[in-house]
Chains A and B, each alone.
Chain A
Amino acid sequence: MSDHAHSSDGHGGDGHDFAHPMPVSMLLSVFFALVILTVVTVAQASFDLGSYDVLVVMAIATLKATLVALFFMHLAWDKPFNIAVFVGSFIFVGLFVIFTLGDSDMTSDSFEPKIDEVVPMVAESN
Chain B
Amino acid sequence: MSTAQADPVSDDASHGEHGHDHDHPAFLAHHFDTPEQQFDSGKLGIWLFLVTEVLFFSGMFVAYAIFRNLRPDVFVGSSEFLNTKLGAINTGVLLFSSLTMAWAVRCSQTGEHKKLTGMLAATLSCSMVFLGVKAIEYSHKWGMGLLPAGTFFYDPANPHPTTDQLETLGFTSGTAFFLHNSLYFLCAPFLIVLLGVVAWLILSIVKGNKFQTACAMPLTIVCLSFFGGVGLGVILESGSEEGHGAAHDVAGHHGEGVAHSDAVPSVIDDGKVAAPALNDDASETSVLERLATDSTNTGLMSDVAARQAQASVASGAVVRGDDTNFEGGISEASANVLTQRQAGKFFSIYYCMTGVHAIHILGGIAVLVWLLIRSVRQDFNSRYFGPVDYVGLYWHLVDLIWIYLFPLLYLIR
In the complex the two chains form, is A34's CB within 8 Å of B325's CB? no
A37 to B22 alpha-carbon distance, docked (Å)? 48
- Min CB distance A47 to B, Å, is 7
Question: Which residues does chain B contribute within 8 Å of A41, judged by CB atoms?
Answer: 406-407, 411
Say whether B360 faces chain A, with CB atoms less than 8 Å apart. Answer: no
Residues from chain B with Cβ under 8 Å of A20 in the complex: 109
Q: Report A90 CB to chain B, min CB distance, Å.
A: 7
Interface size on A, residues (CB 8 A): 76
Contact in complex: A72, B4 (CB < 8 Å): no
Contact flags (1/0) for B121-142 with A, using CB distance below 8 Å?
0000000000000000000000
Q: Contacts A27-B102, A97-B61, A118-B339 known; A86 to B109 CB distance under 8 Å?
A: no
A72→B102 contact, CB < 8 A? yes
A70 → chain B, closest Cβ, in Å?
11
A60 engages B268 (CB within 8 Å):
no
Query: Hey, which chain B residues are within 8 Å of A74, CB to CB?
Result: 102, 105, 389, 393
Task: Choose one: A82, A101, A120, A123; the contact of B62 (CB below 8 Å).
Answer: A101
Q: Is the CB of B382 within 8 A of A42?
A: no
B371-413 vs A: 1/0 string, CB under 8 Å?
0000000000111010001001100110110011011100101
A118 contact set on B, CB distance < 8 A: 302, 335-336, 338-339
Nearest chain-A residue to B25 (Cβ)? A15
Interface-facing stretch out of B40-48, B185-193, B234-242: B40-48
B233 at the interface (CB under 8 A from A): no
- CB < 8 Å A-B pair total: 235
A residues near B399, Cβ cutoff 8 Å: 68, 72
Q: How far is the CA of A21 from the CA of B13 in the complex (A)?
A: 24
- B interface secondary structure, majority: helix
Q: Which B residues are CB-close (under 8 A) to A38?
A: 88, 91-92, 95, 406
* Residue interface mask A17-47, B partner, CB < 8 A = 1: 1111110100110110011001001110111
* A15 vs B27: C-alpha distance when bound (angstroms): 15
Q: Which residues of B contact A111 (CB under 8 A)?
A: 70
Contacts of A110 in B (CB 8 A): none
For A81, what are the chain B residues with a Cβ–Cβ distance below 8 Å?
1, 4-5, 8, 44
Tally B residues with Cβ within 8 Å of A. Answer: 93
Are A19 and B407 interface neighbours, CB within 8 A? no
A71 with B102: CB separation less than 8 A: yes
B156 to chain A, nearest CB (A): 5
Residue of A nearest to B395 (CB): A72
A-B contacts, 25 listed (Cβ < 8 Å)? A15-B19, A16-B19, A16-B36, A18-B40, A31-B96, A38-B91, A47-B321, A53-B413, A71-B102, A72-B102, A73-B393, A81-B8, A84-B4, A85-B48, A85-B51, A86-B54, A93-B58, A96-B59, A97-B61, A118-B335, A120-B335, A124-B153, A124-B154, A125-B155, A126-B339
- Residues in B lying within 8 Å of A, measured CB to CB: 1, 4-5, 7-8, 11, 15, 18-19, 22, 35-36, 39-40, 43-44, 47-48, 50-51, 54-55, 58-59, 61-62, 65-66, 69-70, 84, 88, 91-92, 95-96, 98-99, 101-103, 105-106, 109-111, 145, 152-157, 169, 268, 270-271, 292, 298, 301-302, 305-306, 319-322, 325, 335-336, 338-342, 381-383, 385, 389, 392-393, 396-397, 399-400, 403-404, 406-408, 411, 413
Contacts A43-B270, A111-B70 supplied; 13 other A-B pairs, CB < 8 Å = A1-B8, A18-B40, A19-B385, A28-B99, A68-B396, A72-B101, A73-B392, A86-B51, A93-B58, A118-B338, A120-B156, A125-B338, A126-B341
